[in-house]
A and B are shown apart, each in its own frame.
Chain A
Amino acid sequence: NAGVTQTPKFRILKIGQSMTLQCTQDMNHNYMYWYRQDPGMGLKLIYYSVGAGITDKGEVPNGYNVSRSTTEDFPLRLELAAPSQTSVYFCASRKTGSSTDTQYFGPGTRLTVL
């Protein structure tokens, strides 16, 4: 049971570098999300997608981009890394349904920008 998987688990970037955080789910969920969690804080929504080809901004989208070409994959792109993007990033997918609506999380990616 893979569920939601994220790679890499850890990454250190230099200011100005770019990277893509990968997220894959094997549960055929239409809805997927990216959150960031700063130290000692709750989760803030970056971007989300309600299906392949459809994405929308969340609360803190600046500095990030996403794409959703397939149901399974929802990568998050950082173009010019900044120290303010040091955080733990969580991907999630959502199973919808009247009695089963639940959101499942990946294990997270810890990103440090120096």
Chain B
Amino acid sequence: AQTVTQSQPEMSVQEAETVTLSCTYDTSENNYYLFWYKQPPSRQMILVIRQEAYKQQNATENRFSVNFQKAAKSFSLKISDSQLGDTAMYFCAFLGPGNTPLVFGKGTRLSVIA
């Protein structure tokens, strides 16, 4: 079974600075997808970024980018120019092939400090 590990329960960053959230996963699959979801205090789950395992190029979405290391099974999220609105729980998630459900890590609580 796949597992997702987020080793940083809480992090903080100064406004306008850069922060990196870590995620590692375990799988024997070769084709899969990885995601970062943001959950602000409203509890809505918001998709931040996705990465396809067969693509070597790291995904980017505006201020959000990932460092995908397939051999190391690592998928970190970098937030540049942090904003107060980035304060939220961030969940890393793994999606395998077929009908296997999304597997989540336990989350990292990020606080952006003014």
Residues on A lying within 8 angstroms of B by beta carbon are: 31, 33, 37, 41-43, 45, 48, 50, 58, 88, 90, 92, 94, 99, 101-105, 107-108, 110
A98 shortest CB reach to chain B, Å: 8
Q: Are A50 and B99 in contact (CB under 8 A)?
A: yes
Q: What would be 13 A-B contacts, judged by CB atoms less than 8 Å apart? A: A33-B101, A37-B43, A42-B91, A42-B104, A43-B104, A45-B102, A50-B99, A102-B33, A103-B93, A104-B47, A105-B44, A107-B43, A107-B44
Residues of B within 8 A of A31 (CB): 99
CA distance A107 to B99 in the complex (A): 23
Contacts A42-B91, A43-B91, A101-B33; A48 near B47 (Cβ below 8 A): no
Interface of A is mostly: strand
Number of B residues with CB within 8 Å of any CB on chain A: 19
Contact among B35, B52, B102 for A99, CB-based, below 8 A = B52
Give A94 to B105 CA distance when docked, in angstroms.
18
CB pair A58 B47 closer than 8 Å: no
Please measure, in the bound complex, the distance between the C-alpha atom of A43 and the C-alpha atom of B43, giving whole angstroms: 12
Cα distance A75–B21 in the bound complex, in angstroms = 35
Q: A98 to B45, alpha carbons, bound, how many Å? A: 23
A42 adjacent to B105 (CB under 8 Å): yes
Which B59-114 residues have a C-beta within 8 angstroms of A? Answer: 91, 93, 95, 99, 101-102, 104-107
- A58-B101 contact given A42-B106, A43-B91, A101-B33, CB 8 Å threshold: yes
Do residues B45 and A102 form an inter-chain contact, with CB atoms below 8 A? Answer: no
Bound-complex Cα distance A51 to B25 (A)? 28
Across the interface, which residues of A come within 8 angstroms of B95, CB to CB? Answer: 101, 103
- Using CB atoms, name the residue of chain B closest to A45: B101
**Cβ contacts under 8 Å, A37 to chain B:** 43
Which B residues are CB-close (under 8 A) to A110?
Answer: 43
| CB <8 Å contact, A90 and B101 | no
**Closest CB-CB distance, A56 to chain B, in whole Å?**
8
- Distance of A113 Cα from B44 Cα, bound (Å): 21
Closest chain A residue to B50 by CB distance? Answer: A102
Measured CA separation A113–B99 after assembly (Å): 32
- Give Cα distance in the complex from A103 to B37, angstroms: 10
